[in-house]
């Protein structure tokens, strides 16, 4: 129920920092990863969200996550 509620609300289960989100987004898409949210700039952080095919949403982010 917890995992389904997160997905239903579009909340990532976890987040990973990347050095270059544009390059990582392009690389993952070329491997067939389906993004539910393309990279979006939120000021100090740019983040994208993808489906890990196991029912989880995973976020990748570049910038200051403090």
Note the pLDDT tens digit of each residue in 1-57.
766 777 776 778 899 999 999 999 999 999 999 999 999 999 999 999 999 988 899
**Own/partner long-range contacts of 27-35 (Cβ < 8 Å, ≥24 apart):** 28/60
SS3 of 6, please? helix
The model's pTM: 0.84
CATH number for the segment(s) 2-63 = 3.10.180.10
């Amino acid at each position: 129920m917890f995992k389904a509620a997160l997905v239903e609300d579009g909340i990532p289960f976890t987040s990973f920092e990347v050095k270059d989100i544009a390059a990582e987004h392009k690389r993952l898409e070329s491997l067939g990863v389906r993004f539910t949210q393309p990279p979006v700039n939120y000021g100090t952080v740019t983040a994208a969200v993808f489906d890990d095919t196991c029912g989880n949403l995973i976020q990748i982010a570049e910038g200051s996550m403090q």
